[in-house]
C-alpha cells in the first residue's frame, strides 16, 4: 500500500510488481519503491533460461502497445539496450489469476505458472549515476479499451502508476526522454511537472517531429504523476502554443534551443481536431 492517496490504488490489489535486471544491476535498484515491495521471486534475471517465457510475454506486451503505431521494439533491443545495461519495472498478474481473454491475447503456454505482465517501464542509465533515459512505457490499458476486452476492469492510471514507481525503483534523479509532438503520452509526461526541452526537431530520430524533454526528479513529482491530489506543482505561464503538425515552428524552436535559449512544456496539451496544441514557456 502506498503511503499517499492515488487514483489507481486498486491496481496494487490486483497486480504485483516485478523487475527485470541482471543480479549486478538489481543490487543498484530500490526494490521497495514508496514501500511497494518487489518479491524476490519477481526479480527476473534476463541471463537465465527460465526467464524466457516471461521475457517473451514482455515482448508481446510491447507489440500489443506499439505495434499499431509502428514502433514495436525488436527483442535484441530489449536485451542489448534494457535488460543488460538498465532495468525494466512493471506490474503483472500471476498466470493462474490472469483473465481468460488476456490469456488468449498473449497465447500463454499451457502449464506456465509465472507472471503475465500488464505494464512495463524501460529506462537506460546515462553517463551519471541517477541520470536515465526513459525508453518505453507499455500498458495494456489502451489495448483493453481498443479491443473491449474487460468492461468491468478499470485500468485507468496504470501507465502513470507504473512510470512513477519505476523511476523511484531505478533511483532516477534526472530524467530525459523523447516523444512526438502529437503523442497522447505528453498528457502523462506533464504530470511530472514542467518538461524542459532539449530538442524540438530531431533528425537523429526516426520521427524528426520528436522532442527531447527532461526534468529533475523529486518525490513530489512522482507522487503528482501517480495522482496524489495533495501535491501541487509550480508551472510557469504559457508564452505560446505549438501546433503538433507545424514542422516549421518546430525547426524554428530547435534553432532557438541550439542558440542557447531555454524552453519548457509547462502543462498539458490541448486536443484540437486531428492535431494537438502544445504549450511552450520560455525559461531562459
Cell numbers standing for residue 95: 498466470
Of 135, 163, 191, 221, which one interacts with another protein (CB under 8 A)?
135
d(CA 108, CA 97): 12
d(CA 222, CA 137): 15
Residue 30 touches another protein, criterion: CB under 8 A? no
Note whether 162 and 169 are within 8 A (CB).
no
Interface with another protein, residue 262, by CB under 8 A: no
Per CB under 8 A, does 80 bind another protein?
yes
By CB under 8 A, name the one of 7, 10, 205, 256 that touches another protein.
Answer: 205
219 binds another protein (CB under 8 A): no
Say if residues 32 and 38 touch (Cβ distance below 8 Å): yes
Q: Is 117 in the site for another protein (CB under 8 A)?
A: no
- Collapsed DSSP state (helix, strand, coil) of residue 252: helix
Q: How far apart are the C-alpha atoms of 281 and 266, rounded to whole Å?
A: 6
Residue numbers 40-69 binding another protein by CB under 8 A? 46-49, 51-52, 55-56
The one segment of 90-98, 130-138, 159-167, 233-241 that binds another protein by CB under 8 A: 130-138
Rounded Cα gap, residues 92 and 146, in angstroms: 20
Cell digits of residue 263 = 524552453
3-state SS assignment for residue 132: strand
Does position 81 bind another protein by CB under 8 A? Answer: yes
Helix (H) or strand (E) holding 189: helix 186-189
Nearest to 81 by CA among 132, 141, 123, 109: 123
Q: Compute how many other C-beta atoms are within 10 angstroms of the C-beta atom of residue 236.
A: 14
Nearest to another protein of 120, 226 (CB atom): 120
Q: Which part of the chain contacts another protein (CB under 8 A), choosing from 35-43, 139-147, 253-261, 272-280?
A: 253-261
Residue 236 CA to its chain's centroid (Å) = 24
127 binds another protein (CB under 8 A): yes
Q: List the one residue from 63, 67, 68, 85 that touches another protein (CB under 8 A).
A: 85
HSE, CB side, 13 Å, CA atoms: give it for residue 90: 29
Q: Does 204 bind another protein (CB under 8 A)?
A: yes
Rule CB under 8 A: which of 136-175 touch another protein?
none
For the bound state, the minimum distance from the C-beta of residue 146 to another protein, rounded and expressed in Å, comes to 22
* Shortest distance, position 103 Cβ to another protein, whole Å: 21
According to the binding rule CB under 8 A, does residue 215 interact with another protein? no
Cβ 42 to another protein, closest distance in Å? 17
Confirm or reject binding of residue 92 to another protein (CB under 8 A). Answer: no
259's grid cell: 542558440
- Only segment of 34-42, 83-91, 95-103, 216-224 that touches another protein (CB under 8 A): 83-91
Backbone angles phi, psi at 68, to 5 degrees: -60, -25
Query: Which residues would be at the binding site for another protein (CB under 8 A)?
Result: 21-22, 24-25, 27-29, 46-49, 51-52, 55-56, 71, 73-87, 124-129, 131, 133, 135, 176, 178, 198-199, 201-207, 210, 212, 251, 254-255, 258
Amino acid at each position: 500500500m502506498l503511503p499517499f492517496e492515488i487514483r489507481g490504488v486498486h491496481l496494487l490489489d490486483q497486480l504485483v510488481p516485478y523487475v527485470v535486471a541482471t543480479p549486478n544491476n538489481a543490487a543498484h535498484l530500490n526494490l521497495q519503491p514508496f514501500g511497494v515491495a518487489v518479491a524476490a521471486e519477481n526479480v527476473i534475471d534476463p541471463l537465465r533460461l527460465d526467464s524466457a517465457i516471461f521475457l517473451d510475454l514482455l515482448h508481446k506486451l510491447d507489440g500489443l502497445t506499439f505495434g499499431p503505431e509502428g514502433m514495436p521494439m525488436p527483442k535484441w533491443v530489449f536485451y542489448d539496450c534494457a535488460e543488460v545495461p538498465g532495468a525494466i519495472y512493471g506490474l503483472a498478474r500471476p498466470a493462474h489469476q490472469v483473465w481468460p481473454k488476456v490469456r488468449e491475447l498473449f497465447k500463454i503456454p499451457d502449464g506456465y505458472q509465472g507472471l503475465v505482465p500488464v505494464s512495463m517501464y524501460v529506462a537506460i542509465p546515462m553517463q551519471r549515476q541517477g541520470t536515465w533515459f526513459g525508453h518505453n512505457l507499455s500498458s495494456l490499458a489502451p489495448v483493453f479499451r481498443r479491443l473491449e476486452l474487460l468492461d468491468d476492469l478499470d485500468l485507468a492510471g496504470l501507465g502513470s502508476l507504473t512510470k512513477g514507481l519505476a523511476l523511484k525503483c531505478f533511483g532516477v534523479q534526472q530524467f530525459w526522454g523523447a516523444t512526438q509532438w502529437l503523442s497522447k503520452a505528453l498528457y502523462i509526461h506533464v504530470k511530472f511537472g514542467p518538461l524542459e526541452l532539449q530538442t524540438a526537431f530531431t533528425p537523429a530520430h526516426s520521427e524528426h517531429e520528436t522532442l527531447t524533454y527532461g526534468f529533475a526528479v523529486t518525490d513530489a513529482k512522482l507522487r503528482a504523476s501517480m495522482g496524489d491530489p495533495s501535491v501541487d506543482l509550480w508551472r510557469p505561464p504559457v508564452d505560446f502554443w505549438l501546433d503538433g503538425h507545424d514542422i516549421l515552428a518546430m525547426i524554428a524552436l530547435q534553432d532557438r534551443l541550439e542558440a542557447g535559449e531555454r524552453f519548457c512544456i509547462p502543462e498539458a496539451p490541448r486536443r484540437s481536431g486531428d492535431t494537438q496544441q502544445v504549450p511552450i514557456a520560455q525559461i531562459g
